[in-house]
Structure 1
Amino acid sequence: MIAGVAFQTRARTIDHLGRGQIADAPTAVSELWKNAYDAYARNVALHVFDGTPEVAAIVDDGVGMSYDDLVRRWLVIGTESKIEEFDATPPDTLGLPRRQRQGEKGIGRLSVAFLAPCTVLVSRKRGCNFVAVAVDWRLFENPFIGLDDIRLPVQEFETPQAMLKGLPSLLETLRANLGASNDVEDEERQRRLTEGWERFSDYERRQGASATTADMIKASWVEMPLSERHLQEWPVFLDQAKHGTAMFMLELNHELGVWVRPDESGEEVTEVKDRLRQTLTGFIDPYSSDRPEFAYEVFVHRGDSDDKIVGADDVFGLDGLHDLEHYVEGAFDDRGTFTGRVVAFGQDLGVKTYVPKRPPPQRGRDRLGGFRFAIGTYEVDERRSTHGETQHAYIDAQTEKFGGVALYRDGLRVMPYGRPDADFLGMEERRSKNAGREFWAHRRSFGRIAVTRVGNPALRDKAGREGLVDNRAFREMRILVIEFLKDAARKYFGSDSAIRNEVLPGIMERKALQKEAADQAKTRRRKGLRQFLKEQTSPLDEALRKASSLVALAGDTLEKRDRLQATVLAARARDIRSITETLRPPTPPARLADLEDQWRSYRDRYQDLLDKLQELAKLTAEVESTLGEEAPSEVLARRLAEQSAAINKQLTAFSAGIDERFAKLRTVWKDHQESDQGELGRRAAHVLEANVTTANLLNFLNLVDANETEISENLSGKYRSFLSTLDQLIEGIDLEGAYAITEDDRSELEEQLRDIRAVAQIGITVEIIGHEFETLEAEVRRNLQKLPASAKSTEAYEGALRAHLALADRLRFLSPLKIGGYRAREVITGAQVADYITEFFSSVFTSQRIEFIVTENFRKISFRDIPSRIFPVFINLINNAVYWTSLATERKIELDFQDGLAIIADSGPGVDPEDVSRLFELFFSRRRSGRGVGLYLSRVNLGVAGHKIRYAMADDPKILDGANFIVDFKGVSSDG
């Protein structure tokens, strides 16, 4: 006789399917977040609370569940609703586009058992009551009871407060699963449970357990551990949303508990915390231009403080990728052919195509399918990088938080790819063999592989939900990407690439040339300036005195109409003009130190001399035209001849000086040549006196060749540098100007180096303040959101919210002094900037009687960036303009856009020419009580995103007579 016998399911099956399948806490959280995504949530958050017991909550505003949903779906393992053709009811998408389901086995909800042994789930569906269930996952560890014998308490509540008061009523049903209850309706079940727990407890005692599982379950549920503090983090409880789910976990495991345990510390705790940040950061694909509307956060609540650990905007995304000097962005098709844009050393090389040596399978169960791919990086050595110093430092800091190539499926991250220890593309292994040729580094790269469940069905999750099954499709994808990276490194980026060998020397030369030249000229330049001021101050004073005298003489001559005096005036005027050039001051170094007052005095007096000579020229011309006996045409021709003769005399003197110096230079380099010609002989002379035999001849020949190679390389560097210098002179390049600029940069760096200790302390302070600010700002924002709708409709609430946002923007202006996260960029228009300034300074403009003008050209501009980065820059510039404009009679501040540049101008006194080079230095200010921080922060803020700011130079547009600042926005558009 054949009997039909069914599988018998023990309770611990749930334990195996849930806790036993999860790798770590971050993976468990990500599984539960994916459930929220499948429920069409717009927001999901993990909250970790201190207290006894410690509690964590995952809350969302998704579709939520009714009583029937909870019983027929959430409490059904492997539900068919994950297979879409069995789900006859169209999903409620809450107004969102249809989402590709992330869950496929119907067991993801069991991940919660890994995080804590106790769970209370509450949910609400639109138009339905609240529903709650309590679970103790330790019930499913007992191998002596059947799954059907465990009953979980489920109850409905009409209001949030009714739910808060009614949750303790769930405990009796939950405790009844331990047996020995008064359930007279099912005495047989109670007998089985009592017997099963007695057997399991006896087994645990024999194993030396200090407390049995049954005892721990009883201790956990003496009373309901949840309070209003925990429920208030769920928007539905606060009536801010009409639907959603909250899952509360009690008695947290170590990986979550360390966040709220003050006595937990050490390397292991740091590693646990870093792992959670690394895993949950970038949960949504930040490199996609079409990101789903799904925000996520992690908060830690200790006492009265709330710390934000992870946020959806704290990512390195598509904008950041496009800011990198090296990146590749495109897609692989079914045949493995890659088509995409390649940018190397900041140069757009256009759309390139890569065809693999062997295409992946295109049919059958192992078909890989097409997928998108993006990766970017930068030169680790700033001297070789096309990025400026500020931008390079910013990108370098981002690698600590966001470096690595992640993998996303349908826009959500697949763990563990992208973590520091998950170099599944083998970049570091290849670099260990040849770092230059292989180029790509895992922790210095940013990027992602983007696959889809429909397009890549063979890429399946492992049972533990961390990583993809190592099947043929996965291996084909990995090999395909690796071979592409190797090919790209050799063609465009690595040491074997032609473009690197072509471009890199120019980059390094541009960055090193001025610095090297300045080192050689620095001493001579400072000494020369001091000597010049010492020797020329008295002649300048004498020339100024003579010029003043001649101006007076010219006036007297016109008044008396004295022709003889006019002749004397003309001769003396020619004499004083001829000595003016020798008094012209050289370009000063950036740091004048003790010479500053003397230099400024000399510069101002020289300008006075030029003004006097200009006045004298006008008067002498008037004298000649009035008193001269010659015809007007003859006067003009004579004046032209005199001026030409003066210029020719000046050129003759310069030419003689050049010839003299070239003669000295020829002598110097002839001496170099004669000395260098004998260098090999001096080095290798001893070999001719040695006992040379057939056996040692090869060694001696190698010695001579080695010396020749070394000397040849030295001479090449020495003489080519000289020839290059002469070529630059022939091309008209101003080497003295190059020396001056480089020395200014060098002096500026030395000055900053002396201040760096103080700045470092400021940075530490700002880091601490910034951390506290982020905590307090999040707490204020969250508590404002919790206010009832009646309060939110008041003007007081609107004012408080506006003030809070304004304060947050201003304090975030300090972000360059701390390691700030990447935030999503958005389109900013000139009109938005203008309106923001108008509102911010409205009372100031009125009280100071300042006319604020914004042109239509400025209003029409647009560019992409973070508002909290851009608006404070304008606030600082306008604030400075208000100060200086208030010192003027005419008071105007104007914003304009000309020649692709934004101009911020005022009608104040302007900036002293000697101060222009130092305007953006830290701590430099000419304002009374000014701190010299605002313009520095403005430059650093803008530089991080590739924008540039400067004071208007000679070729820049100027719209007012005072200060004119130029902002060159990257990617600016003026189309309106």
Structure 2
Amino acid sequence: MIETAPFQARARTVDHLGREQIADTPTAISELWKNSYDAYAKEVSLEIYDGQWPVAALLDDGHGMTKAEFVERWLVIGTESKATGSVVPLDDRNGLPLRPKLGQKGIGRLSCANLGPLLLLVSKRRNAKLVAALLDWRLFENPYLNFADLSIPHIEADSPEEIFPQLNDMADILRTNVTGGADAARAARVAAAWQAVDDLRAAEVEAGHPLPTTLPSKAILDGLSQINFEPRHLSAWGVAKKTSNQGTALLVGNINYDLMVQLPRSVPDGTAKKAQEKFFETLSSFVDPFVDPSKPTILAKNPTFAYVVRAWDGNRSRDIVGSEKQFDRRMLDGLEHMIDGVVDASGIFRGKVKAFGTILPEVVEIAPPADAKISRRPGSTAGTFLLFVASMEFTKAKTTLPAMEYERYEQLAEKYAGFMIFRDGLRVLPYGRTDNDFFEIESRRSKHAGREFWNHRQMFGRIAITREGNPNLKDKAGREGLLDNEAAKSLKSIVENLLRVSARRFFGSDSAIRKEVLPGIESDNKNRKAAEQRAKLRQRQGKQFRSRLRETGKAVPTLLREVSDYVVQLEIRDEVDVVETQRALETYKDRLADLRILGAPKELGPLQNAYMTYREGFQSVQAKLDTIASSLDEAVERISPANPRDLLNKQAARLSNQVRARIISWKKNIEALQKAEFERVSKLASERGKIFQIDIEPVLAKFDRADANYVETSKTLEALRDTHVEDNAQIFAPYVAALENLTESIDLEHLATFGADENMELRSELDRLNALAQLGIAVEIAGHELQAYDDILGAGLRALPDEVRNSRAAQDIAFGFEGLTDQLRILTPLRLAGRKIQRWITGDEIFGYVSDFFRLIMLRNGISLEATDAFRAMRVFDQQSRLVPVFINLINNSAYWLSTAGEDGRRIVLDVAGTEVIVSDNGPGVPKEDVESLFTLFFTRKSAGGRGVGLYLCKSNLAAGGHRIRYVADATAMPLAGANFAIEFRGAVFDGR
């Protein structure tokens, strides 16, 4: 006989679906805010109130609930409204357009249990009464109770003020869920259930388990004996303030540790700081900050949705996180590395890339990995999504950013860095947190930090999906990440490949761009740092000079008056006067030495007059002292002291004391500076060591969680070590070098001042030389070009029929052009105005021209100039005067080097390889070490007659038409094995296509 039986649920199901499913407090808060979003709230807030029993209040201005909706929906787990996709009526949308529903399972409200056990819910729908309910989530931790055994007290009210006087009565009813109440049958079931739980706890405590000794039933009854919710806890709610006639408030009592530490009076120990950091990290970007409002996106429209977390200290509040404190996309525009585009349903990325501060002109396309299975079936495709990633060089020596911007972005990264996912504009957790590496960014970096480039702590990025456009990317039951289905696997594979390919192509150590530009950046930064230090030194010296000039400007006239008066009254009659005069002279000289100004800048500007007045006064005092010294010498000769050695001994003793006093003064200053520097360096060294420890903690934690193996962790630690060693070397190595120079008594101040002054003079001289060099380069280029056109014109004149070539008109043309080129080679480059004619030029036309041009040279040197059918059929739309000289220069170079090689089988071939035109010869080729310098101005290896201008002009002429030229080092696939140049013509047509 077949029987049936229904599923049954214990009350503990609520605990499983709510508190135990939510990973942490910020995740719970985000779930409740998403419920508010689904309720068409414009503003949500979390208010954390201090007091003997702190309370948290989650407030919104959404459409709220009636009493019936509270009973029939809020108290029903897994309501149908989410699953059926029913449309929210227009009257309930708070004046907002239709929003996509973020909640799907109807259990998000249970997240409240994570924040604290006691909940007072107050909700109001427009044109309806308030509904209020009191419940204790600990009731649902009892595995022996059924849903039917629990009763949740609730009331209706006209205003929030009417609720609080009834809280104790509601608490009494709620207490019957432990005591059993008047119903005997229910009372027996409830009493037995709590007795069983209490006995279980007592047995566990007796067995030594670290659990609270207070029995569960008693803990609930004690908590309900004193309800601490007050009207002030609703003071920020729109309904209470009468600024809104709808909304929901969730007041939470006995709040958890993560909320407690947000209060201003909490003790900020290490654990609390980590909780605060994680809280901020999770909620700071709750609303997508990467949306560019100036551009259309595939995102559903997301009108204003403001959020804030406030902590209260009495009547004062402090914003912890919120919309106003959130960074936005505009703050990232200055970052030097960026990827911004769309990934389509096939997994192909198309968008723009910025590398080292320069936006690449072409649209970049990155295909998914060839070995990845990207599903396109409706039930498993990841769908189209937006991607934005930005970063910078987090080593000062390598960045293109100015110092102030670098520091600003460094601080921004400290708070907001991470790679996040947003659905319909709201954050999907836990992506973007430091403890999540879904896209294995840190895992790849641990294997090769330089090549992989991207660093979770130093990148700003997000993936933007929508519920409508990406329906297969669903949240897990615990709202901790995406469900691990085929769509999520495709997303992961696509994004990992995109980050890996972009790093290797544009940003990482393997990228050609980095290899090309980084040496120049490092050199510029080194020079910039030196310039900043010179400017800082000049600024300090200028400040010291101005201050010293102000002081001495007053002191020198005073000293001059004293010395002048002393000279007038000076009278030396005997040995006693000699000693007194010597003492006075030494004192005046000592005072004058203190008024000496060293290191006066060469350009005094408005200080010129003051400095000249000081110099005149200083020299006047010096002259007066010289007068006193002369008078003293004459007096000593006249008096002829009986014991001159005694006078000298006294003078030596005085001078020795003066020298010692000055040395002691310097010594005290040096000791004070050394002590301050020692303390500063000690503190800096300690901080740098701590920073390294902070950086390695998450790496080791990742190993402890088994998210990384030993080899990966070891390599990550070594990469961190290398980064810190490089950064620390920039801080401490110059300091050590300076101290070493001081031990050799090298005057760094004088060297720096001398270097700065010399640098200014050299810079001025360099500007003049640059001007001359520009003129010289212009003349050299003009001479080279005129030579080429002179050859062309000569060949053209020679090709004329004899009767035309020998005519007076043709001879005048030849004479006039020869004279013109001779003069212009000396004076200035030739610049011709007028319309440049562009037309289709065929390879056959080019070959015909250069064949005639080089006929005699080729015959004289035994060289065969050939062109393939593919080259002859090629067409380019451009100026003849721009393209023909390129081929003349290349063929001329080939002819020169072929003439230096063997005499047999000399060949030059014009061909096509793919979409590039090839100029190939079988000469000696270009040495490997010369390839990088090949197109550099004035670079040549010709022993005679080479100017080093031809290839530079080839590249410049081609670039002017949007074409490119390169040297092919590997001649394997080339027509001949010598020198091979490949030209990529923009818009060229091959094979008649």
Question: Secondary structure at 1:319's aligned position in 2?
Answer: helix
Residues 180 and 323 from structure 1, CA distance in 2 versus in 1: closer, same or farther, beyond 3 angstroms? same
CA contact (8 A) 2:180 2:186 kept: no
Residue among 183, 188, 192 paired with 1:191: 188
> How far apart are the structure 2 equivalents of 1:734 and 1:601?
41
> How far apart are the structure 1 equivalents of 2:153 and 2:478?
29
CA contact (8 A) 1:18 1:107 kept: yes
CA contact (8 A) 1:301 1:307 kept: yes
The within-5 A match list for 1:867-882 is none
The aligned residue for residue 357 of structure 1 is 369
Aligned: 1:348 with 2:345:
no
The aligned residue for residue 332 of structure 1 is 343
> How far apart are the structure 1 equivalents of 2:324 and 2:309?
12
* RMSD over aligned Cα atoms: 3.5
Normalization by structure 2: what TM-score? 0.52
User: By how many angstroms is 1:517 displaced?
Assistant: 8.0
The aligned residue for residue 397 of structure 1 is 411
The within-5 A match list for 1:449-528 is 449-513=463-527
Name which one, 1 or 2, has greater alpha-carbon Rg.
2
The aligned residue for residue 565 of structure 2 is none
> How far apart are the structure 2 equivalents of 1:128 and 1:729?
84
Aligned: 1:300 with 2:298:
no
User: By how many angstroms is 1:213 displaced?
Assistant: 1.6
Aligned: 1:372 with 2:386:
yes
Deviations 1:181-240 (A, max 9, x none): 2x3xx4322332233223333333333362222211111112432111211121211111
The within-5 A match list for 1:387-786 is 387-513=401-527, 592=601, 599=608, 730-732=769-771
Residue among 318, 327, 330 paired with 2:329: 318
> How far apart are the structure 1 equivalents of 2:111 and 2:412?
31
> How far apart are the structure 1 equivalents of 2:187 and 2:283?
43
Highest relative contact order (Cα 8 Å, sep 6+), 1 or 2? Answer: 1
Aligned: 1:280 with 2:280:
no
Residues 518 and 172 from structure 1, CA distance in 2 versus in 1: closer, same or farther, beyond 3 angstroms? closer
Long gaps (5+) in structure 2:
206-211, 294-301, 546-597, 615-758, 775-993
CA contact (8 A) 2:161 2:231 kept: no
Deviations 1:643-702 (A, max 9, x none): xxxxxxxxxxxxxxxxxxxxxxxxxxxxxxxxxxxxxxxxxxxxxxxxxxxxxxxxxxxx
Long gaps (5+) in structure 1:
531-588, 606-720, 736-976
> How far apart are the structure 2 equivalents of 1:240 and 1:125?
14
Residues 76 and 603 from structure 1, CA distance in 2 versus in 1: closer, same or farther, beyond 3 angstroms? farther
User: By how many angstroms is 1:344 displaced?
Assistant: 1.6
Aligned: 1:267 with 2:286:
no
> How far apart are the structure 1 equivalents of 2:485 and 2:268?
40
Residues 193 and 602 from structure 1, CA distance in 2 versus in 1: closer, same or farther, beyond 3 angstroms? closer
The within-5 A match list for 1:97-246 is 97-181=97-181, 183=182, 186-208=183-205, 210-246=213-249
The aligned residue for residue 920 of structure 1 is none
User: By how many angstroms is 1:47 displaced?
Assistant: 1.4
Deviations 1:39-69 (A, max 9, x none): 1111111111222322111111111111111
Worse-superposed segment, 494-503 or 31-40:
494-503
Worse-superposed segment, 244-253 or 423-432:
423-432
Residues 518 and 225 from structure 1, CA distance in 2 versus in 1: closer, same or farther, beyond 3 angstroms? closer
User: By how many angstroms is 1:317 displaced?
Assistant: 2.0
CA contact (8 A) 2:419 2:462 kept: yes
CA contact (8 A) 2:424 2:466 kept: yes
CA contact (8 A) 2:375 2:486 kept: no
> How far apart are the structure 2 equivalents of 1:376 and 1:323?
10
User: By how many angstroms is 1:147 displaced?
Assistant: 0.8
CA contact (8 A) 1:55 1:252 kept: yes
CA contact (8 A) 1:321 1:327 kept: no
Deviations 1:251-310 (A, max 9, x none): 112222233484644222211111111101100001113553111111112334322111
AA in 1 matched with 2:770: E
User: By how many angstroms is 1:725 displaced?
Assistant: 12
CA contact (8 A) 1:80 1:87 kept: no
Residues 300 and 591 from structure 1, CA distance in 2 versus in 1: closer, same or farther, beyond 3 angstroms? farther
User: By how many angstroms is 1:421 displaced?
Assistant: 2.0
AA in 2 matched with 1:355: A
Question: Secondary structure at 2:132's aligned position in 1?
Answer: strand
The aligned residue for residue 94 of structure 1 is 94
Residues 193 and 598 from structure 1, CA distance in 2 versus in 1: closer, same or farther, beyond 3 angstroms? closer
> How far apart are the structure 2 equivalents of 1:311 and 1:40?
18
> How far apart are the structure 2 equivalents of 1:725 and 1:304?
64
The within-5 A match list for 1:783-932 is none
User: By how many angstroms is 1:157 displaced?
Assistant: 0.1
> How far apart are the structure 2 equivalents of 1:523 and 1:85?
69
CA contact (8 A) 2:310 2:319 kept: yes
Residues 600 and 375 from structure 1, CA distance in 2 versus in 1: closer, same or farther, beyond 3 angstroms? farther
Normalization by structure 1: what TM-score? 0.53
Question: Secondary structure at 2:105's aligned position in 1?
Answer: coil
The aligned residue for residue 734 of structure 2 is none
AA in 1 matched with 2:127: G
> How far apart are the structure 1 equivalents of 2:215 and 2:108?
28
> How far apart are the structure 2 equivalents of 1:524 and 1:465?
59
> How far apart are the structure 1 equivalents of 2:260 and 2:538?
65
User: By how many angstroms is 1:362 displaced?
Assistant: 0.7
Question: Secondary structure at 1:450's aligned position in 2?
Answer: strand
AA in 1 matched with 2:368: P
The aligned residue for residue 538 of structure 1 is none
Question: Secondary structure at 2:92's aligned position in 1?
Answer: coil
Percent of aligned pairs sharing the same letter? 40
CA contact (8 A) 2:130 2:156 kept: yes
User: By how many angstroms is 1:444 displaced?
Assistant: 0.8
The aligned residue for residue 929 of structure 2 is none
User: By how many angstroms is 1:115 displaced?
Assistant: 1.3
CA contact (8 A) 2:264 2:311 kept: no
> How far apart are the structure 2 equivalents of 1:278 and 1:443?
12
